[in-house]
């Protein structure tokens, strides 16, 4: 049974902290995202403890979960933020986040986004191509400002993860080939509207071993030393994020293990003066949330049994997009198990790809409540309104209290701004 620490069974009912999930479903309906506030704090604490006595800036990779309540928790805990759009910057500023602790990543930054980030005063732009570098220099010059930059280099390191979330191979769209990085840094150094402040690397997501990070770091150290010989001295080294979480039985990589190994390498090469920037997303929020869904129908067939639920791929696209595994728990399970069958958990969307889990042995009935676990990351942020389905509400649980941190959309709101021609 795969249940996150802050989602446990009590008296035969699955709880979020001290709140029965069945109560939340009755009060707020389903589908429903439920987050544990304490889970966010505990996940952050692992990075805080690992960073003690070291010059480390942990920037939450907010593409994983950008709800303002979540961002506000991390702001209060001392996090910076890793953003990939002007919209995400606006969210950080909306919760009073410090722009000087924001790194701006992403391969397709637009002029308006660059302007907004420069005017806000972000820590740096993680530049991913030479054309982007030149555009940023031009925008900064027009504003009479100097843009702080680091180059995101692609080290051609295999993170041993799903191809769609692997970002450090030379065939991926991300970053500048590490063999070309010195020349691009030299070009950046010649542009007066740019200030070189660091180097950035992000090799992928859901990584459970330290070796890919160390392989990438080894190449970054060679680059940093080559730049120093040319008189280009950096202030920080950004290793990105990507530490995995437990979806089933994964052996996890602790932040302390990663940081111990990284600082050993930096010390050995005389680079301990560099600030280390990390950009964790999934590992800070993934196990903090569940997606509650109600069984609408049970459909039994010769080849498959289907549990048709009210959540769908528009609520959680990871299974159909990545073939991702999410544990499924019955919120109030029956304990005899005599009538358990193997089901595919599917939604009502008109696509064969609309599934949340496959081949799960469950003892369920129509009307039962299921919890799709580990849905705190890349669930709501990737949600859509496909089939004109309103996006679900988000709830934050704090001890015995539950708070609506985003209400459920209404059907009417989905087309309220649309216009009909006469």
Sequence-distant (≥ 6) Cβ neighbours of residue 92 within 8 angstroms: 62, 71, 75, 81, 83, 99, 102
pLDDT band at 334 (very low <50, low <70, confident <90, very high): confident
pLDDT band at 165 (very low <50, low <70, confident <90, very high): very low
Sequence-distant (≥ 6) Cβ neighbours of residue 401 within 8 angstroms: 19
pLDDT band at 98 (very low <50, low <70, confident <90, very high): very high
- pTM of the complete model: 0.94
7-36+286-414: what fold?
A: Lyase, Ornithine Decarboxylase; Chain A, domain 1 (2.40.37)
Q: What is the pLDDT of residue 167?
A: 45
Q: What is the pLDDT of residue 204?
A: 85
Q: What is the pLDDT of residue 318?
A: 96
10 annotated ligand binder = no
Task: Decide yes or no: CATH 3.40.630.10 for domain 105-280.
Answer: no
Identify the H or E element spanning 226: helix 211-229
Sequence-distant (≥ 6) Cβ neighbours of residue 384 within 8 angstroms: 314, 317, 391
Read off the pLDDT of residues 222-266 as tens digits, 9 standing for 90 and up.
Answer: 999 999 999 999 999 999 999 999 888 888 899 999 999 999 999
Sequence-distant (≥ 6) Cβ neighbours of residue 340 within 8 angstroms: 361, 362, 363
Q: What distance in Å separates the CA atoms of residue 280 and residue 284, rounded to the nearest whole number?
A: 7
Both tokens assigned to 370: 């299921």
User: Which residues are annotated as catalytic?
Assistant: 350
Q: What is the pLDDT of residue 248?
A: 85
Name the DSSP class of 366: T
Task: Tell me how far apart the terminal alpha carbons of the chain are, to the nearest angstrom.
Answer: 58
Q: Report percent pLDDT > 90 for the chain.
A: 88
Both tokens assigned to 265: 């390498």
Give φ, ψ of 184 to 5 degrees. -70, -40
Q: Determine contact, residues 374/327, Cβ cutoff 8 Å.
A: yes
With H, G, I as helix, E, B as strand and everything else as coil, classify residue 199: strand
Estimate the share of the chain in helix, then strand, then coil, as percent rounded to the nearest 5.
Answer: 30, 25, 40
Q: Determine contact, residues 368/345, Cβ cutoff 8 Å.
A: no
Task: Say which residue the tokens 């928790």 belong to.
Answer: 73
Q: What distance in Å separates the CA atoms of residue 409 and residue 391, rounded to the nearest whole number?
A: 6
With H, G, I as helix, E, B as strand and everything else as coil, classify residue 395: strand
Both tokens assigned to 318: 């990871």
Name the DSSP class of 166: B
Between 336 and 418, residue with greater pLDDT: 418
247 annotated ligand binder = no
Q: What is the pLDDT of residue 168?
A: 41
Q: What distance in Å separates the CA atoms of residue 104 and residue 88, rounded to the nearest whole number?
A: 10
242 annotated ligand binder = yes
Q: How far is CA 422 from the centre of its chain?
A: 44
Give φ, ψ of 138 to 5 degrees. -65, -45
Mean per-residue pLDDT for 146-165? 75
Q: What distance in Å separates the CA atoms of residue 321 and residue 319, rounded to the nearest whole number?
A: 6
> Is residue 171 pLDDT above 70, yes or no?
no
Q: What is the pLDDT of residue 164?
A: 40
318 annotated ligand binder = yes
pLDDT band at 169 (very low <50, low <70, confident <90, very high): very low
Domain ranges of the chain: 7-36+286-414, 105-280
Name the DSSP class of 85: S
Both tokens assigned to 141: 């010059």
């Amino acid at each position: 049974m795969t249940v996150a620490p802050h989602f446990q069974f009590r008296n035969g009912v699955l709880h979020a902290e001290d709140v029965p999930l069945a109560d939340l479903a009755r009060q707020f309906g389903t589908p429903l995202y439920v987050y544990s506030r304490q889970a966010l704090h505990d996940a952050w604490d692992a990075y805080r403890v690992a960073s003690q006595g070291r010059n480390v800036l942990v920037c939450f990779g907010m593409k994983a979960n950008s709800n303002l309540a979540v961002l506000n928790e991390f702001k209060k805990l001392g996090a910076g933020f890793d953003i990939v759009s002007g919209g995400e910057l606006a969210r950080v500023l909306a919760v009073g986040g410090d722009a000087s602790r924001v790194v701006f990543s992403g391969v397709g930054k637009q002029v308006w986004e660059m302007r907004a980030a420069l005017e806000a005063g972000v820590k740096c732009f993680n530049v991913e191509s030479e054309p982007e570098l030149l555009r940023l220099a031009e925008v900064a010059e027009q504003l009479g400002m100097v843009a702080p930059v680091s180059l995101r280099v692609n080290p051609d390191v295999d993170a041993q993860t799903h191809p769609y979330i692997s970002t450090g191979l030379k065939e991926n769209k991300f970053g500048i080939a590490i063999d070309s990085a010195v020349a691009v840094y030299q070009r950046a150094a010649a542009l007066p509207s740019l200030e070189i402040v660091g180097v950035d690397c992000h090799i992928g997501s859901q990584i459970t071993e330290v070796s890919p990070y160390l392989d990438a770091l080894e190449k970054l150290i060679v680059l940093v030393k080559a730049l120093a010989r040319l008189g280009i001295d950096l202030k920080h080294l950004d290793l990105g994020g990507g530490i995995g979480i437990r979806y089933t039985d994964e052996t996890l990589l602790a932040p302390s293990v990663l940081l111990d190994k990284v600082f050993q390498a930096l010390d050995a090469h005389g680079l301990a003066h560099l600030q280390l920037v990390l950009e964790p997303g999934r590992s800070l929020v993934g196990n903090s949330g569940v997606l509650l869904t109600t069984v609408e129908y049970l459909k039994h067939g010769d080849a498959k049994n289907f549990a048709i639920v009210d959540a769908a791929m528009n609520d959680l696209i990871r299974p159909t997009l990545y073939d991702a595994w999410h544990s499924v728990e019955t919120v109030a399970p029956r304990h005899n198990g005599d009538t358990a069958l193997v089901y595919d958990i599917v939604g009502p969307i008109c696509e064969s790809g609309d599934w949340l889990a496959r081949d799960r042995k469950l003892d369920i009935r129509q009307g039962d409540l299921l919890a799709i676990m580990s849905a705190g990351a890349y669930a709501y942020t990737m949600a859509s309104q496909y089939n004109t389905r309103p996006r679900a509400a988000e709830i934050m649980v704090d001890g015995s209290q539950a708070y609506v941190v985003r209400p459920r959309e209404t059907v009417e709101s989905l087309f309220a701004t649309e216009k009909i021609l006469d």
